[in-house]
């Protein structure tokens, strides 16, 4: 009888371990990319509450964008951040505004035209390549985008190639852990651990991690000289 109870106990422990293996707490490992948000959701990207929820002016201030900078907005959607960054780097700077959905590129053009913004270049990218000029970018911004990359590894590799030697990347992702982003589906959120695992492996080094946004992590990365000779 005692032996049967012991065996049952061992079986329960093994089962529990098996259920826990694919996750670390709340962080699925490996992470699966989220489905790409389609252009049908464009209105959500232009909602007025974004000013308070995602504080674009504070984000751009933290990046320290200045006139003359060359910036890439990867996964630009309707151009919510493209337009704001284009104003920050004008008159001599420009924004490469990239997306994989031609419909978003069209909306970006219309939205920029409405505000008289001309210092941007639309780029229709591919799922594994943002098609940016090599070695010419001061800053790349990825807002609510990276978790949707279906092919994150080649995207990160191409991003590294596009940066100037001292170029940086601003990455904004909804928090997976805690409840500050509970209104966002889990698959569209990431933990610091998940981001660092993928970005360090790809040759990026964390420069700063800001947590002033209400629901999102705000990472700043640069090229890791030890991994990208
Ligand atoms: C949630 S929207 C965010 C749009 C914009 N960054 C913003 O904050 O308003 C995600 C965007 O990422 C784009 N996207 C997904 N995968 C991409 C990829 N591999 N390259 C470029 N854009 C991509 C989608 O088409 C979509 O426009």
- Confirm or reject: Cβ of 81 under 6 Å from ligand 1: yes
Q: Is the pLDDT of residue 200 over 80?
A: yes
Digit-coded pLDDT (tens) for 13-26: 444 433 434 444 46
Banded model confidence at residue 6, pLDDT cuts 50, 70, 90: low
Q: Ligand 1: distance of its center to the CA of 97 in Å?
A: 11
Banded model confidence at residue 227, pLDDT cuts 50, 70, 90: confident
Between CA 229 and CA 89 the distance in angstroms is: 30
Q: Is the pLDDT of residue 8 over 60?
A: no
Q: Ligand 1: distance of its center to the CA of 143 in Å?
A: 8
User: Which residue, 160, 77, 70, is CA-closest to 111?
Assistant: 77
> Per-residue DSSP letters for 37-102?
PPGGGHHHHT-TTHHHHH-HHHHHHHHT--TT-EEEEET-TTTHHHHHHHHHHTTT-EEEEEES-H
User: The whole model's pTM is what?
Assistant: 0.89
Tell which one of 145, 150, 170 to mutate to probe ligand 1, the residue whose CB is within 8 A of the most ligand atoms: 145
pLDDT of residue 21: 41
- Confirm or reject: Cβ of 76 under 6 Å from ligand 1: yes
User: Considering the chain, what is the average pLDDT of its residues?
Assistant: 91
pLDDT of residue 226: 87
* Of residues 169 and 225, more confidently modeled: 169
pLDDT of residue 81: 98
Mean pLDDT of 101-121: 98
Mean pLDDT of 106-129: 98
Alpha helices in the chain (DSSP H): 2-20, 42-45, 50-54, 56-63, 80-89, 102-114, 152-162, 192-201
Domains of the chain: 2-223 (3.40.50.150)
**Which residue's CA is minimally distant from atom 10 of ligand 1?**
145
Q: Is the pLDDT of residue 157 over 90?
A: yes
Digit-coded pLDDT (tens) for 205-223: 999 999 999 999 999 999 9
Mean pLDDT of 160-177: 98
Banded model confidence at residue 7, pLDDT cuts 50, 70, 90: low
Q: Ligand 1: distance of its center to the CA of 203 in Å?
A: 22
Closest-lying ligand 1 atom to the alpha carbon of residue 130? 20
pLDDT of residue 76: 98
**Which residue's CA is minimally distant from atom 12 of ligand 1?**
75
């Amino acid at each position: 009888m005692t032996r049967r109870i012991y065996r049952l106990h061992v079986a329960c422990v093994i089962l529990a371990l098996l259920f826990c293996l694919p996750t670390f707490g709340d962080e699925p490992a490996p992470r699966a990319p989220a489905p790409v948000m389609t252009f049908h959701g464009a209105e959500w990207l232009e909602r007025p509450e974004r000013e308070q929820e995602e504080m674009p002016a504070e984000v751009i201030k933290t990046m320290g964008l200045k006139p003359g900078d060359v910036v890439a907005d990867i996964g630009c959607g309707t151009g919510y951040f493209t337009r704001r960054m284009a104003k920050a780097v004008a008159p001599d700077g420009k924004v490469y505004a990239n997306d994989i959905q031609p419909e978003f590129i069209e909306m970006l053009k219309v939205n920029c035209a409405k505000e008289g913004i001309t210092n941007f270049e639309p780029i229709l990218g591919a799922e594994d390549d943002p098609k940016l000029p090599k070695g010419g970018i001061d800053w790349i911004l990825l807002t609510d985008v990276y978790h949707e990359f279906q092919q994150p590894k080649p995207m990160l590799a191409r991003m590294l190639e596009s940066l100037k030697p001292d170029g940086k990347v601003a990455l904004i992702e909804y928090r997976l852990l805690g409840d500050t982003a509970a209104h966002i589906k889990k698959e569209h959120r990431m933990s610091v651990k998940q981001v660092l695992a993928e970005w360090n492996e790809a040759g990026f080094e964390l420069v700063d991690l800001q947590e002033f946004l209400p629901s999102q992590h705000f990472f700043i990365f640069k090229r890791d000289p030890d991994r990208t000779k």
